[in-house]
Amino acid sequence: MAGEAQCLGYAGCNFLRQRLVLSTLSGRPLKIRKIRAKEEDPGLRDFEASFIRLMDKVTNGSRIEINQTGTTLYYQPGLLYGGSLEHDCSPSRSIGYYLESLLCLAPFMKHPLKIVLRGVTNDQVDPSVDVLKATALPLLKKFGIDGESLEIKINRRGMPPKGGGEVLFACPVRKVLQPIQFTDPGKIKRIRGTAYSVRVSPQMANRMVESARSILNKFLPDIYIYTDHMKGVSSGKSPGFGMCLTAETINGTILSAELASNPQGQGAAVLPEELGQNCAKLLLEEVYRGGCVDSTNQSLALLLMTLGQRDVSKVLLGPLSPYTIEFLRHLRSFFQIMFKIETKTPEEEHVGGEKVLMTCVGIGFSNLSKTIR
Amino acid sequence: MEEKEKKKHRAKHSGPKAEKKRKRYLNDLGIGDEENARKRNPKAFTVQSAVRMARTFHRTQDLKTKKHHIPVVDRTPLEPPPVVVVVVGPPKVGKSTLIKCLIKNFTRQKLVEIRGPVTIVSGKKRRLTIIECGCDINTMIDLAKVADLVLMLIDASFGFEMETFEFLNICQVHGFPKMMGVLTHLDTFKNNKQLKKTKKKLKHRFWTEVYPGAKLFYLSGMVHGEYQKQEIHNLGRFISVMKFRPLTWQTSHPYVLADRMEELTNPEDVRINPKCDRKISLYGYLRGAHLKNKSQIHMPGVGDFTVSDVSFLPDPCALPEQQKKRSLNEKEKLVYAPLSGVGGIVYDKDAVYIDLGGSHAHEKEEEEVRPNHELVQSLISTHSAIDVKMASSKVSLFMDSRPLGSEDVGQEFVMPKEERQIDLKTGRVRRKALFEEEEKENDDAVSDEEDDQEEEEEEAMSEDGSDGDDEDDAEEESNRALLREEIALGRAKRLKTEVAKEEAVNELPAFADSDDDLEIGSEGEEGKTAPEENEMEEDDDDEEGEEDEQRTYENESSDSEFEAASKRVTESKQYEINNEDTEMRSQISDHSLKRKAVLTTDSGNCTAEEASESEAENSLDEGDDEEGSHDELEVEESNRKGFRHTQAKKADSIRQTKVKAVEAEDDDDDVENLLRDEEEYEEKIDFSADTTGALKWKEDLTQKAAQAFLRQQRSTPNLRKLIYGTAVEDEDHKSEDAGDELGGLFRVSRPDKASKQKANALDCSKFLIEKPQDWDLEEVMSSIRDCFVTGKWEDDKDAAKLLEEDEELYGDFEDLETGVVHKGKPAAEGDESGSEEEDEDGKISKPEPEEEEKKKERIDKKRKLKEMFDAEYDEGDATYFDDLKEEMHKQAQLNRAEFEDQDDETRVQYEGFRPGMYVRIEVENVPCEFVLNFDPHYPIILGGLGNSEGNVGYVQLRLKKHRWYKKILKTRDPLILSLGWRRFQTIPMFYIEDHNGRHRLLKYTPQHMHCGATFWGPITPQGTGFLAVQSVSGTTPDFRIAATGVVLDLDKSITIVKKLKLTGFPFKIFKNTSFIKGMFNSQLEVAKFEGAAIRTVSGIRGQIKKALRTPVGAFRATFEDKLLMSDIVFVRTWYPVSIPTFYNPVTSLLKPAGEKNSWSGMKTTGQLRHERGIKLKQNKDSLYKPIVREKRHFNKLHIPKALQKALPFKNKPKNLDKKGKTPKDQWRPAVIREPHEKKISALLSALSTVNNYKIKKAKVKHREQLKEYLKVKQKEDEQKFKRQKEAKKKIYRILGQREKKRQKSSLKGSSKGEKNM
């Protein structure tokens, strides 16, 4: 019998997104137990529930079973369907939380995905929509996922705690991905960024820009930071400001850093100057880590390498984040794929810390959802 | 007399010879050649019409681009698996004989009985796996999917049979492997002309099926039950030089054609429950793509399984090592066919089996051959009573024939294209395929020429072959004795012997050699020469060999086994001691990894050891090591002392590594950094070697490998361990886990270090920085200074430096505008001075590296110049296609080179088991029937499944009924599909897509058209071909393949609808509005259909308006015209159809032996009705009855009086009165003649009679004459027509040839013109 593939079992709510995404892509069912079993408020949180709902929306024929307390989740993946969708994200996590997973899934849909996500666009926890727009999309392009329809558009900005932002994400579908050889990050040629402010004084953005420039100018003259002040209906429901910076190299690598102000009514007020400086320093930190892919998108790059054709792909990364390390483990259990990991100490002195060269052979994944005529 | 006989010589005026002569003559005159003509009259050859020129140019370009295939990355492994040669054909056509002959041809061994695949070495670079394909359609389907080359045997004395065409169709669907036809039974033709004709006919038919020009081999006759040696030799050569195109399905899925099966189930479990699921291991060459452990596989005929373990074994039929010689020697001509009991030595995971001939093995075989013995045996072994047997017996008329039932005897098949014939000799029923004569007379000339050519080729081949044969014969004689022994070996029973690992190395010269190479590379500095090493090793091996023999003798007692085991343990310990000594001196961090290699490598143990030796270059005490290996005879004593010591050490090291794994990276990194400083020098050498150029990657591979190994040993970081853990630990852990759970009562609670603490942490992908650096400090800032374009660049990218180099290259130039003369620096001087400076600085005088450097620089310079030249002249016109091809080529090279320097163990972890490896696959939960009813004649295939290919869902197909299949297919009838690896029964629904995208259900497949089909079954990638059969059991006279097609779409839901018409009747009619009842059952239903279009049967259109309150379900509707009460109103709706979720894999391999071709799944309703004699209950109303029409009676036409009056006379009814009797007075009087008058009249009548007769006679005569004349005329006409036709034909042929010539010349002219351009 073509019995269902072996069910994979996990415990705990951490890395829920990874697991669900990989389960969907590999077609293997999944069972997660002990989700916050020992906490006072057991079970899945609202943002996780919202994520599961989103998964249900983009797939067809998925079976999701959750027990009464919400501590156990069984997920049997269906086929990725896509199409034009809308989703209201939970305001307790930002849209980035949802978008990161959609970026992994979108190229393998039946119909090109065009989804409107509503919720918090920028917060302090997750990578913001601005960063994903600046870093993840160029990364997708490297794998042959490009075209006019690949876009992330911020219609409205929403800051925590209430949100009210709106983002449009569209992605074309591909049958197969190209392998990449991405081992030379190149030198940084320019720094760009956005300083945004909603429902606060528009001057805030300028103050942030000023302070960030003061630090970055020591390294590079080509710096331009856009100020983005949204007003009226497109400014969401809560006040706040923040900034994200990206450094682009001559080889098209994009490194990023971001910082946002404390949400209204939580923590002390942050000075925009301080925020700008800290953000610039974070960017330098990221430059120090280096690699061809910035730290938030490591897992996306590795996933797309895995899902490539049966060819060797290589990518040079900075130090692996804990999230990526767990992701690698998951890749092994879902796709039986192991990466060859070589640490590389740069030969020259002034190019930052140690790098990791990741090499793998793709599994020969092909988009099973796409229709042929 | 002689003079009389002599004929005068007549010079030829036509034909090739005359043509040649004429040409020569013209040449002599200097006007004949076209080249000359071009010279003589150049104007005639210039462009005369630009349009025409453009057209020809376009055409040539079109032809050129048509040849392009989309380039794909070449993923064929360096050492490819054996080519699968499937020998297929109807029964009794000579398949087994051919296989035997081929094996004999290649290996000089004679196999008596062939079961399952036979792998042989056919040349220096090619191995073949030959397998026979029976006529069971299951086997045919399975083998078509794995075949690389198909040898299609055709009985020339009979012609094509249906099996051939079925197989061809199967192949077409599943990717077309290379085909080669082989005609046999050609000796039955007595008439040479007949033979020639048949050959040609069959060839052309074969060409239409495969491709024009496909190779068809002729095996003329048998000599002593074998084909002629020369012909087989030629066939073998054709096979061994054949090239293959990669097939999509095969290259994208791993698969194994198993050549060995073993059961691993615990015998106790079997004893308790003989029907329990089994655990088996299957062996075979891995083909296609990389196979990963724990992946899903499908075994056609059995089902889906998950691989529980894979391991690779030493190649049992290895290719000879690379040596510069032309042919194989006798030792290298290997055969491997474990299912047939041939193959010498068989490797298992932990043991080696050697086939030894039992003393009675030979006799047994001979006895069994005799038929009368068989009879006696069968009588002895009867279990059932004779009357029971009688009841169930079938009559088999001849040996080997299918038992005949009554239906087979009496039937006659009248078919246009297929014919069932009963062979007179064997009584076998054959399914002849007949075709109309397609060949025209005109073709004869051409094809004859081709035939001649082919024959010439073959003759040439045979000459070649015979030379080789002579040599071979000599060899053969000398080796005959040896051969006999080997054969005996092959037939024998197996005897298990435990052999130490060293012997495994001994058996595998390739392995040992490669190790030596490594050592040459790495130990060059040591001053120790490789041959010495080899000798030493051989010594070792000899001793160990003795030891092994001893051990085998000991084995018979049970105690000795334990001893051997303990010995092995101690041996491995011994290695560890060596390792650890060396390691302690060199490094600390390598500990665990190396030991792991020792532990996990099985036969590759030696490598690890030697590698470690080489690593410890200087510090290694050779004497110690030698002692260590020599002393193994007394190893038990000596090691038991050291045992505790080593154990303690081991524990230590384990603790160390574990600590390391747990600790943060930083500590490790520090250590590594320290270590790396020492190794920097070596690594630099590596890098320089790497950068010398991509083309040179092949140089010094061994050395590179050795170096890379070292490098890898050092730098393979603990990062890997941190992420994946060590493979061994991992597996142990898992198995323990499983054991714990099975144990039930108690469970060891083991904290899951890494994931436990994080299990419920925040799920965030951001990599937070714990302790940010202070970016205001100068040194911190300078640490990333060079990451920016403003920082320092590498030498090869720095603009200033590049400019300098350019200057050196081009030297001096003069700026013409300003008139300034720039002088280039004398490069050599600068270099020299630089190097001198270096020398002074370093105070080391090394002349060689300096020179080398110079040389390198020169080479670099040259390369750069060449690149620039290429860019300017060669690559300028590189097309998109060329670029794409180049890219693919680069990727392929990278794929090959990336993991080349790693040993197989680690390589397997990264890329999976690569094709070409001989693997052992363990599978659990296999139905017991598979083992119990195992029949080696049926191929066992393990087909790897991609991601989610093991899942089920709805699959949409584009399907077409095969044009040779007699019936049409019915929706909802079960059908057996062959799709991907699988064969399964399912219930498809046929549909057709309407122009608005609606999928409308069809009851039957259309006759000659594609239609859609959807079924519930395994998900298979789009674009995969499939075929359908209605049953796989037995044989039918008809063509068995019912339909073919391709997968279009996969989904978890479907959208097929069927038409549903709801009818209603008017119960109240106003003008255009009517009330309709009987269509719906409730107001709600009506509400759902408000606004829907309705129609009456008579064609009046309308619309549903609103529901009425009473009666329930009635509604108001408006129409375009007034209805009648007798009208029927209907609304057309679409009803979604559900597909039965029925998926039933064909488990033909589970059937008992001899019944494997009798699998029958779900039956169709029709079959069931037929079997049980259930008649279809028909609706009486829809039956046809004889139409009885009443005779219609029409009333008389009655025209009113008034109207009559008004009518014109013409139209007035004429009421004519009936005539009465003529009155007497109007009677005419009778004439009475006089005698004279009578006479006259008599005479006249006589005369007229005569005259009439004469006229009649003349008429007849005239008619005959006319007939004659017409006949003659027709003949003449015919002849005339014939003459005209022939004349016309001649003219047209001449015209045609002239046209062709002109085209050819114009093409040639254009291509030449192109070149000139």
Q: Mind listing the pLDDT tens digit for each residue in B236-253?
A: 999 999 988 889 899 999
Instruction: Determine whether the interchain pair A337/B294 forms a contact, defined as Cβ–Cβ distance below 8 Å.
Output: no
Nearest CA in chain B to A60: B1052
Whether residue A277 sits in one domain with residue A200: yes
Q: Which residues are B960's β-sheet partners?
A: B1010, B1044
Which of A60, A100, A349 is nearest residue B1051 as measured by Cβ atoms?
A60
Tokens for B619? 């510090």
> Cβ distance A367 to A173 under 8 Å?
yes
Q: What is the arithmetic mean of pLDDT over B678-704?
A: 46
Q: Mind listing the pLDDT tens digit for each residue in B968-977?
A: 999 999 999 9
- CA dist A360 and B293 (Å) reads 16
- How many CA atoms are closer than 13 Å to the CA of B530, on its beta-carbon side? 12
Contacts of A373 in chain B (CB under 8 A): 1048
Lowest average pLDDT, out of B61-65, B107-111, B1300-1304, goes to B107-111
> What pLDDT was estimated at residue B655?
47
How far, CA to CA in Å, does B955 sit from each of B275, B1015, B1161?
35, 6, 20
pLDDT for B721 beyond 90: no
Residue A35 at interface with chain B, using a CB cutoff of 8 Å: yes
Between positions 898 and 927 of B, the ones with CB within 8 A of A are 898-899, 909-912
| Domain end position, chosen among A289, A311, A337 | A289
> What pLDDT was estimated at residue A6?
78
**Residue scoring higher pLDDT (B348 or B730):** B348
Q: In which band, very low, low, confident or very high, does the pLDDT at B421 lie, cut at 50, 70 and 90?
A: low
Look at strands B999-1002 and B989-993 and give their pairing. Answer: antiparallel
Whether residue A318 sits in one domain with residue A234: no
Residue A110 lies in a domain: no
Q: What is the arithmetic mean of pLDDT over B4-32?
A: 81
Of the segments B566-580, B633-647, B1042-1056, which one has the largest average pLDDT value? B1042-1056
Residue A348 lies in a domain: yes
Residue A359 at interface with chain B, using a CB cutoff of 8 Å: yes
State how far residue A96 is from chain B, nearest Cα, in angstroms.
Answer: 10
- CA dist B287 and B77 (Å) reads 10
Contacts of A39 in chain B (CB under 8 A): 760
- How many CA atoms are closer than 13 Å to the CA of A151, on its beta-carbon side? 10
Residue B772 at interface with chain A, using a CB cutoff of 8 Å: yes
Residue A169 lies in a domain: no
Contacts of A130 in chain B (CB under 8 A): none
Nearest in space to B707 (alpha carbons), one of B961, B837, B518, B887: B518
Residue A150 lies in a domain: no
Q: What is the arithmetic mean of pLDDT over B276-286?
A: 94
pLDDT for B1315 beyond 80: no
Q: What is the arithmetic mean of pLDDT over B181-190?
A: 91
Tokens for A137? 């999309």
Q: Mind listing the pLDDT tens digit for each residue in B791-813?
A: 888 766 777 777 776 666 665 55
Q: What is the arithmetic mean of pLDDT over B1270-1285?
A: 96
Whether residue A295 sits in one domain with residue A241: no
Residue A142 lies in a domain: no
> What pLDDT was estimated at residue B530?
40
Extract the runs of DSSP E, i.e. beta strands, from B797-846.
Answer: 813-814, 821-822
Nearest in space to B1120 (alpha carbons), one of B1093, B1143, B1138: B1093
Residue A116 lies in a domain: no
> What pLDDT was estimated at residue B1260?
97
**What percent of chain B is modeled with pLDDT above 70?**
63
Whether residue A218 sits in one domain with residue A296: no
> What pLDDT was estimated at residue B658?
43
Between positions 7 and 26 of A, the ones with CB within 8 A of B are 11-17, 25-26
Contacts of A359 in chain B (CB under 8 A): 898, 910
State how far residue B770 is from chain A, nearest Cα, in angstroms.
Answer: 11
Residue A345 at interface with chain B, using a CB cutoff of 8 Å: yes
pLDDT for B331 beyond 70: yes
Q: In which band, very low, low, confident or very high, does the pLDDT at A372 lie, cut at 50, 70 and 90?
A: confident
Q: What is the arithmetic mean of pLDDT over B628-649?
A: 43
How far, CA to CA in Å, does B1180 sit from each of B1165, B1176, B1183?
21, 12, 5
**Residue scoring higher pLDDT (B2 or B592):** B2
State how far residue A310 is from chain B, nearest Cα, in angstroms.
Answer: 8
Residue A232 at interface with chain B, using a CB cutoff of 8 Å: no
- CA dist B669 and B715 (Å) reads 10
Q: In which band, very low, low, confident or very high, does the pLDDT at B870 lie, cut at 50, 70 and 90?
A: confident
> Cβ distance A153 to A168 under 8 Å?
yes
> What pLDDT was estimated at residue B31?
65
Tokens for B951? 């899942």
Which of A5, A342, A343 is nearest residue B951 as measured by Cβ atoms?
A5
pLDDT for B1188 beyond 70: yes
Backbone angles phi, psi at A363, to 5 degrees: -90, 0
Tokens for B944? 């790897």
Whether residue A322 sits in one domain with residue A363: yes
> What pLDDT was estimated at residue B511?
36
Whether residue A296 sits in one domain with residue A281: no
Q: Mind listing the pLDDT tens digit for each residue in A13-57?
A: 899 999 999 999 999 999 999 999 888 899 999 999 999 999 999
Which of B672, B676, B720 is nearest residue A341 as measured by Cβ atoms?
B720
Report residue A331 CA to chain centroid gap: 17
| Domain end position, chosen among A289, A307, A341 | A289
Residue B1145 at interface with chain A, using a CB cutoff of 8 Å: yes
Q: In which band, very low, low, confident or very high, does the pLDDT at B1276 lie, cut at 50, 70 and 90?
A: very high
Q: What is the dihedral of CA B1097, B1101, B1106, B1107, to 10 degrees?
A: 0
State how far residue A204 is from chain B, nearest Cα, in angstroms.
Answer: 24
Between positions 256 and 285 of A, the ones with CB within 8 A of B are 281-282, 284-285
Residue A9 lies in a domain: yes
A32: domain CATH number is 3.30.110
Question: What is the DSSP code string of A11-26?
Answer: ESSTTHHHHHHHHHHH
Whether residue A193 sits in one domain with residue A255: yes
Between positions 73 and 132 of A, the ones with CB within 8 A of B are 77-79, 97, 100, 110, 125-127
Whether residue A320 sits in one domain with residue A278: no
**What percent of chain A is modeled with pLDDT above 90?**
83
Residue B246 at interface with chain A, using a CB cutoff of 8 Å: no
State how far residue B1048 is from chain A, nearest Cα, in angstroms.
Answer: 5
pLDDT for B300 beyond 50: yes
Contacts of B909 in chain A (CB under 8 A): 338
pLDDT for A246 beyond 80: yes
State how far residue A362 is from chain B, nearest Cα, in angstroms.
Answer: 9
Whether residue A261 sits in one domain with residue A320: no
Residue B690 at interface with chain A, using a CB cutoff of 8 Å: no
pLDDT for B676 beyond 70: no
Backbone angles phi, psi at B313, to 5 degrees: -120, 160
Q: What is the arithmetic mean of pLDDT over B656-685?
A: 43
> What pLDDT was estimated at residue B504?
37
- CA dist B1145 and A219 (Å) reads 67
Instruction: Determine whether the interchain pair B786/A350 forms a contact, defined as Cβ–Cβ distance below 8 Å.
Output: yes
Which of B792, B895, B1021 is nearest residue A311 as measured by Cβ atoms?
B895
A223: domain CATH number is 3.30.360.20
Instruction: Determine whether the interchain pair B723/A341 forms a contact, defined as Cβ–Cβ distance below 8 Å.
Output: yes
Instruction: Determine whether the interchain pair B789/A26 forms a contact, defined as Cβ–Cβ distance below 8 Å.
Output: no
Domain with A349, as residue range(s), is: 290-368
Instruction: Determine whether the interchain pair B724/A328 forms a contact, defined as Cβ–Cβ distance below 8 Å.
Output: yes
Q: Mind listing the pLDDT tens digit for each residue in B806-848?
A: 666 665 555 566 655 555 444 444 444 444 444 444 444 445 6
- CA dist B106 and B99 (Å) reads 11
State how far residue B1058 is from chain A, nearest Cα, in angstroms.
Answer: 23
Whether residue A278 sits in one domain with residue A207: yes
At position A126, the amino acid (one-letter code) is: D
Average pLDDT of chain B, as a whole number: 74
Residue A100 lies in a domain: no
> What pLDDT was estimated at residue A143?
94
| CB-count exposure of residue A122 (10 Å: 0-12, 13-18, 19+) | buried
pLDDT for B144 beyond 70: yes
Between positions 1004 and 1033 of B, the ones with CB within 8 A of A are 1017-1019, 1021-1023
Lowest average pLDDT, out of B130-139, B647-656, B1145-1154, B1195-1204, goes to B647-656
| Domain end position, chosen among A236, A264, A289 | A289
Whether residue A2 sits in one domain with residue A37: yes
pLDDT for B663 beyond 50: no
> Cβ distance B89 to B431 under 8 Å?
no
If DSSP states are collapsed to H, E and C, what string results for B1074-1132? Answer: EEEECCCCCHHHHHHCCCCEEEECCCCEEEEEEECCCCCCCEEEEECCCCCCCCCEEEE
Rounded to whole angstroms, the maximal C-alpha distance in chain A is 67
Q: What is the arithmetic mean of pLDDT over B515-539?
A: 41
- Global pTM value: 0.69
> What pLDDT was estimated at residue B636?
43
Total domains in the fold of chain A: 3
Whether residue A282 sits in one domain with residue A300: no
Q: Is the ipTM of this complex over 0.85?
A: yes
Which of B716, B723, B758 is nearest residue A14 as measured by Cβ atoms?
B758
Residue A41 at interface with chain B, using a CB cutoff of 8 Å: no
